[in-house]
Amino acid sequence: MIKKGSKVKILVGKDKNKDGEVMEIDRANNRAKVKGVNMVKKHVKTTKEKKGGIISKENFIHISNLSILDGKKEKKVEAKK
């Protein structure tokens, strides 16, 4: 089960074979936000509190496109190198 904070690998799309940590989960829509993956540009209007401009932020990706990385397998791969 994919949870907040778990390490995942992207299986399809423009960020295929990248891995990252789950930041947020939307259970109603079966989607998750992964740190540094599926980046989109958002135009933000200037307000009194915030400076405007174009910012990059993570967008949700469907859970079926993610695979959980097993910590044990990663350690074995690192030991062989």
Fold held by 7-80: SH3 type barrels. (2.30.30)
Answer for the pair 11, 67: CB distance below 8 angstroms, yes or no.
Answer: yes
Answer for the pair 33, 59: CB distance below 8 angstroms, yes or no.
Answer: yes
- Taking the model in full, what pTM does it have? 0.75
What's the token pair of residue 41?
């540009």
Closest to 34 (Cα-Cα) out of 67, 1, 60: 60
Give the amino acid at 28.
A
For the chain, how far is it from start to end, CA to CA, in angstroms?
A: 29
Q: What is the pLDDT along the chain (81 residues), one digit of tens a residue?
A: 899 999 999 999 999 999 999 999 999 999 999 999 999 999 999 999 989 999 999 999 999 999 999 766 554 444 444
What's the token pair of residue 56?
């990059």
